[in-house]
Amino acid sequence: MTIDKSWTQIRKRSNSVVFWQGLQSFLQMAKPHVNDRGFIRCPCNRCINNAQHQLEVLETRIHRFGFMSDYNEWIYHGENVPQPNSGVHDSDEMFEVLEDIISNDAEVDQLGSQSSNVQYDDLFTALNSELYPGVSSFSSLNFLVKLMHLKVMNKWTNKSFDELLKSLKLAFPKMDLAESHYEAKKLMTKMGLGYQSIHVCKNDCALFWNENSMSETCPVCSESRWKMQAGRRTGKNVPHKVLRYFPLAPRLKRLFATSKTAKLMRWHQAGKSTDDNVMRHPVDGRAWKDFDRKHPEFADDVRNVRLGLAADGFNPFNNMSISYNMWPVVLTTYNLPPWLCMKPEYLMLSLLIPGPQSPGKDMDVFLWPLIEELKEL
């Protein structure tokens, strides 16, 4: 059923019967989707879905300020709301994920060879394999991805995940599933869900990366790269600290891989506020406009990505008696509209800086991999 949205474009709203009837139909559709306090996002030209009000207030504000022009899919008010299902998902969703990954690599491979697809053979094998003979609703890859998601959401340890896989294999011997968390992690890395482990000097002087990747001692303070016991290295080389770096380029490619998100990545040009006294997005601010004036060649291409960076420390052990700080560095994409750029699914974890103390003035040392990648982009 097609929803008539033409009434949202009417300018003279005061005496318009069509606008009033369309508004009432919109409120009726939105009514089942209010929260437990009776509030719902307001799509008026002032709130632009950033504020929440009761339906009576929504009616007044939309009538007074008008309906926001670029809100074409009413996802917060009942249109295309996902319906609950039985918990069994179609494995086609994994075909779409792999399609995005393969298409990105195909753009890089200018010679048109098939070499870029060889690394995905294991993924396609798992995708085309039935989880269990006669079960077509789940592929082996689809089920493994969902298990890994449950592991993260419920904070399972690697050991408990291994035990779960062993139990499943014992109960269902014919099940086509990874043997361990290590094997599952290797498969996930091929989907672009991995990270780089970079060793760090004990005193945060330098990273053992690029030209220092093979060094045994810090190039600044000469401290050993490895943990020592009684002045001797332990049997297994264990670094003092490990920085986790999540490459940025594959995730930016993913944003441009589909037509919907690619269009949203150009919102910052068409979505500027027409009122100089209203700031609803960084694009309306003085800093953004000043940057465009200083770098016109960058501003000319609307596809160029504007990123915001934030960092803060937290105690990963949820125990205040342990003085340990880990610092995540998060990137947000300001090309996106204001109702999306701060959504968790569009925030990109870039670095996990190890503790036990905060990086302080040595933050620039840890940002080195990110800065190098940004310079390449």
- Per residue in 134-153, pLDDT (tens digit) is 877 778 888 888 898 899 88
Whole-prediction pTM value? 0.62
- Burial code of 42-81, b = ≥16 C-beta within 10 A, e = fewer? bbbbbbbbeebbebebbbebbbeebbbeebeebebbbeee
pLDDT at position 87 is 37
Higher pLDDT, 61 or 236: 61
pLDDT at position 140 is 83
Alpha-carbon dihedral angle through residues 214, 219, 225, 231, given to the nearest 10 degrees: 130
Six token digits for residue 284: 């309306």
Mean pLDDT of the chain: 82
Phi, psi of 65 (to 5 degrees): -100, -10
pLDDT at position 93 is 59
Report residue 46's pLDDT band, with 50, 70 and 90 as the boundaries: confident
Alpha helices in 200-315 (DSSP H): 249-255, 259-264, 267-270, 286-294, 296-299
pLDDT at position 352 is 93
pLDDT at position 85 is 44
pLDDT at 118 over 70: no
Higher pLDDT, 123 or 19: 19
For residue 330, give the nearest of 243, 246, 209 by alpha carbon: 246
How many other CB atoms are found less than 10 A from the CB of residue 40? Answer: 22
Distance CA 69, CA 45 (A): 8
Location of structure tokens 């989907």: 191
Per residue in 298-324, pLDDT (tens digit) is 988 888 999 999 999 888 877 666 778
For residue 213, give the nearest of 230, 197, 228, 233 by alpha carbon: 197
pLDDT at position 51 is 79
Residue 49 is classified by DSSP as: T
Distance CA 49, CA 333 (A): 18
Report residue 290's pLDDT band, with 50, 70 and 90 as the boundaries: very high
User: What residues contact 176, with CB distance under 8 A and at least 6 apart?
Assistant: 126, 129, 130, 131, 132, 140
pLDDT at 107 over 50: no
pLDDT at position 90 is 44
> Which percentage of the chain shows pLDDT scores above 70?
85
Measuring CA to CA, how many Å separate 284 from each of 275, 302, 357?
Answer: 9, 15, 38
User: What residues contact 37, with CB distance under 8 A and at least 6 apart?
Assistant: none
Per residue in 153-192, pLDDT (tens digit) is 888 999 999 999 999 999 988 888 888 999 888 887 777 6
pLDDT at position 368 is 93
Alpha helices in the chain (DSSP H): 17-30, 55-65, 92-108, 121-128, 140-153, 158-171, 181-188, 249-255, 259-264, 267-270, 286-294, 296-299, 363-366, 368-376
Higher pLDDT, 89 or 243: 243
Per residue in 211-262, pLDDT (tens digit) is 999 999 999 999 989 888 766 666 678 899 999 999 998 888 878 877 788 8
Over residues 329-342, the mean pLDDT reads 91
